[in-house]
Amino acid sequence: MKNLYIARHGTAAPSDSATRDFDRRLLPRGLQEAEQIGARLAQNGGFIDYIICSPAQRARETVEVLARHFAFPREKIVFEKSLFDSPAVEHVLQLLKELDDDFRSVLVCGHNPVLQQLATTLSRDFSASMPAGTVVGITFELEKWRQLKEKAGKVCFFACPEE
């Protein structure tokens, strides 16, 4: 069995001409969202073997908060530039299919719309929106990550920050 947790970064500062999109930071609200969702995920009995994340500042800040809730070492987080540059679900799916099969629970953190599309593509029962800070967990009856395919998973966790 494999578990995939799809995390959208928390609420970030709005775009402006003085800051590159890549460098936008989480607002205090975004940090609170990550704390809230990380605690819920840890209380739900979730665990994480591997984390892959967009290197954009707002995603980094989000995943570092989430990782703390699992005592996941910060230095073991893998930052994948293509999660920021490539808006295609097929690209993210290919990254996941190349994961080491020893990893049972993986968290991917990045941006919409690709993450919501990924959750909808992989799960047979997910159709919700993913506002900032949302985490969706999908479980698969698979032995190998390369066996991932459309509609093969079932939602096992969903947490959206409280307004």
Q: Using an 8 Å Cβ cutoff, are 111 and 54 in contact? A: yes
pTM: 0.95
Collapsing DSSP states into helix, strand and coil, what is residue 41?
helix
* Architecture, CATH, for domain 2-159: 3-Layer(aba) Sandwich (3.40)
- Segments making up each domain of the chain, as ranges: 2-159
Alpha-helical runs (H) found in the chain: 28-43, 57-68, 82-85, 89-97, 114-122
pLDDT in tens, the chain (163 residues): 999 999 999 999 988 878 899 999 999 999 999 999 999 999 887 789 999 999 999 999 999 999 999 889 999 999 999 999 877 999 999 999 999 999 999 999 999 999 999 999 999 999 889 999 999 999 999 999 999 999 999 999 999 987 5
Collapsing DSSP states into helix, strand and coil, what is residue 116?
helix
d(CA 153, CA 156): 9
Please tell me the predicted confidence (pLDDT) of residue 67.
95
Please tell me the predicted confidence (pLDDT) of residue 44.
85
Question: Could you tell me which residues come within 8 angstroms of residue 62 by beta carbon, excluding any fewer than 6 positions away?
Answer: 7, 9, 10, 26, 30, 34, 109, 133
Please tell me the predicted confidence (pLDDT) of residue 163.
56
Q: Using an 8 Å Cβ cutoff, are 157 and 26 in contact? A: no
